[in-house]
Structure 1
Amino acid sequence: MDEIQLTSVDGLVLDAAVHRVPMERRPVGTVIQAHGINADKDEGGMFTRLAEALAESGFTVIRFSFRGHGASGGAQRGITIAGEMLDLEAAVDFAVREHPGPLFMVAASFGAVATSLSLPWLGERLSGVVLWNPVLNLRRTFLEPELPWGIENFSESAQNRLHDEGSLMLDGEFELGRVLFAEMRCHHPGESFTADSTPAIIIHGDRDSYVSYDIAREAAQKHPRCGFHSIHGSDHGFDSREREDEAITVSVSWLADRAGSST
């Protein structure tokens, strides 16, 4: 693994890492990983383990932290959907320039927002998409939350603070600003995802109390080329090592199959 830096077009420096294919393996493609909100390029260790497994299967893997996350530049309060799309663009440009060949995405939770909204310009550059418990409806997750995590974090008092002070605290530790919430009223990642025809799979815990399992399953049904894999009994983020391993195993297998059909 090599530690690198990416630079977004607006000048923010992003912390990143590249996992390279072992010398004895033939490269089959490149995977970019997009983490969730209040996480970083490690995604709690899952992205690191996924990257290692993918490298052993012949994939170059690029992990990066979105602006305002981890060791990347920018402030938490300054995080925006548009900014995360610029960060993703920087990772894609690096992948296309340095590691040409079939390109794939793995996006977790809020990482699915920038990924889904970028699908129109990614177009034929992209050979496959894996979404882990994805945020596909911003209104029902953040603005008018339906599940316990959202109801707790985006209560009336939290919304009042956002209005009066310009930010609120996510899980009591991560500051989100009012511009991000204004953007949420304008973007529809689920519609962008289901309108796309890139081969995809959604992997989602069926006991997710953060992001709707039903919305994700419905999106998979509407998408013309999307599979769906349930992690039975799992809350958001795959809440045990066994469930994490299941998500990783399914992802690696699906990506390897897609890489085989792309070459």
Structure 2
Amino acid sequence: MQSTAVRFPGPGGAELAGRLDRPEHGPPRATALFAHCFTCGKDLKGPVHLARALTERGIAVLRFDFAGLGESAGAFARTTLAGNLADLRAAARFLEAREGGPHLLVGHSLGGTAALLVAGDLPAVRAVVTLGAPADPLHATKHLVPTEGPAFRIEGRPYTLDPGFVADLRRHDVASAVRALGRALLVLHSPLDRVVGLEHAARLYQAARHPKSFVSLDTADHLLSAPADARYAAGVIAAWAERYLPEAAGPGPEPAAVTVRTAAGGFRTEIAAGAHALVADEPRSVGGTEEGPSPYDLLLAALGACTTMTVQMYARRKGWPLADAVARLRHERIHARDCEGCGDGGG
């Protein structure tokens, strides 16, 4: 994916920082806006994996830091849920001006609650996804451990919060917002979530009207810390959203036949071949993450596909009743033997 750092004005004048992730080829078919969890940020594993999964399906993603967090300006001590909603509206306006939409809203934890509350204000939104979201905003107060003065500890870290933070939480009726959502809803939640219990997912699902879906995240923790859990959730969201997002536009200017991008720090490689997206990687034994076939495997697959397609084409031309053409290939890396007969003057 193509990832660009962006900045845009927030509701209180504080500049908000984000990343706009776009498909490798051509304009996006749709756009998504991601709201991170309380005290989190745009660059956690979950948002990054989600952006990759969506951009591979032609969907641009804006993930940003709420005011006072990450690279965004502002003071976290002034954070309120109402302020988060205003930040989301500002992000939606920015995304609409740059790419259109947003057509999909995704929110994690309290960010999911915010997505449900703000969706009604964004007419372009067609579908909403929550990840481990509380059905009651006041649930956030269960993780505030008071210290001396106005400070609290959240997950062991000290924060100073606005005196009106809790009072503001009480003003938001999530159940009513969900009943009036008028969009498709996907609720994802882990039964082992120790931060927001599974009963919150049940309450959201029961309040929602169809179309609605629930997917269990099995053994995932609240932050989707394990890369496999983050990738799974991202894949589910991307596949589910296909049904509700705009169809891809007709072909634009002819792109490069194949574009390959490998980011720093690993071997995971995104490949865009025309309208198709796939991933190449290396085994864990050599530092990869095994998210896709290796380059050698892709070469074998290409040779095998060319062989079986040719056999089927020849069989059709001859009128032979061939059901399936199957090729099984393997390779060995014996580089020294490959060049035993090579000389300086060899052709």
TM-score (ref. length: structure 2): 0.66
Give yes or no for the alignment of 1:236 onto 2:222. yes
What is the match of residue 208 of structure 2?
223
After TM superposition, give the deviation of residue 116 of structure 1 in Å: 1.8
What is the match of residue 159 of structure 2?
175
Q: Is the 8 A contact 1:170 1:176 kept in 2?
A: no
Q: Distance in 2 between matches of 1:212 and 1:195?
A: 24
CA displacement, residues 57-80 of structure 1 (integer Å, 9 cap, x when unaligned) = 101111100011101111221111
Residues 126-145 of structure 1 aligned to structure 2 (within 5 Å): 126-139=125-138, 141-143=139-141, 145=142
Secondary structure of the residue aligned to 1:229 is strand
Identity, % of aligned positions: 24
Q: Distance in 1 between matches of 2:218 and 2:64?
A: 29
After TM superposition, give the deviation of residue 260 of structure 1 in Å: 4.9
What is the match of residue 188 of structure 1?
173
Residues 101-112 of structure 1 aligned to structure 2 (within 5 Å): 101=101, 103-112=103-112
| Closer, same or farther: CA 212–120 of 1 in aligned 2, 3 Å | same
What is the match of residue 28 of structure 2?
27
| Closer, same or farther: CA 254–114 of 1 in aligned 2, 3 Å | same
Q: Distance in 2 between matches of 1:212 and 1:103?
A: 28
Q: Which runs of 5+ in 1 are unaligned?
A: none
Q: Is the 8 A contact 1:205 1:238 kept in 2?
A: no
Q: Is the 8 A contact 1:31 1:104 kept in 2?
A: yes
Q: Residue type of the partner of 2:59?
A: F
| Closer, same or farther: CA 32–101 of 1 in aligned 2, 3 Å | closer
Q: Is the 8 A contact 1:34 1:106 kept in 2?
A: yes
Residues 142-181 of structure 1 aligned to structure 2 (within 5 Å): 142-143=140-141, 145=142, 150=143, 153-154=144-145, 158=146, 161=147, 165-177=149-161, 178-181=163-166
Runs of 4+ in 1 over 3 A off after TM superposition: 260-263
Q: Distance in 2 between matches of 1:54 and 1:41?
A: 15
The answer to which structure, 1 or 2, has the higher relative contact order (CA under 8 A, 6+ apart) is 1
CA displacement, residues 127-184 of structure 1 (integer Å, 9 cap, x when unaligned) = 1111111122123x234x4xxxx3xx44xxx2xx4xx722312122241412212212
Secondary structure of the residue aligned to 2:115 is helix
What is the match of residue 10 of structure 2?
8
Q: Residue type of the partner of 2:133?
A: P
User: 184, 188, 191: which is aligned to 1:199?
Assistant: 184
Residues 241-252 of structure 1 aligned to structure 2 (within 5 Å): 241-252=227-238
| Closer, same or farther: CA 52–234 of 1 in aligned 2, 3 Å | closer
CA displacement, residues 67-107 of structure 1 (integer Å, 9 cap, x when unaligned) = 11101111221111121111101111011112125611111
Of 69-78 and 99-108, more deviation after overlay is shown by 99-108
In the comparison of the two structures, how many residue pairs are matched? 245
More helix by share: 1
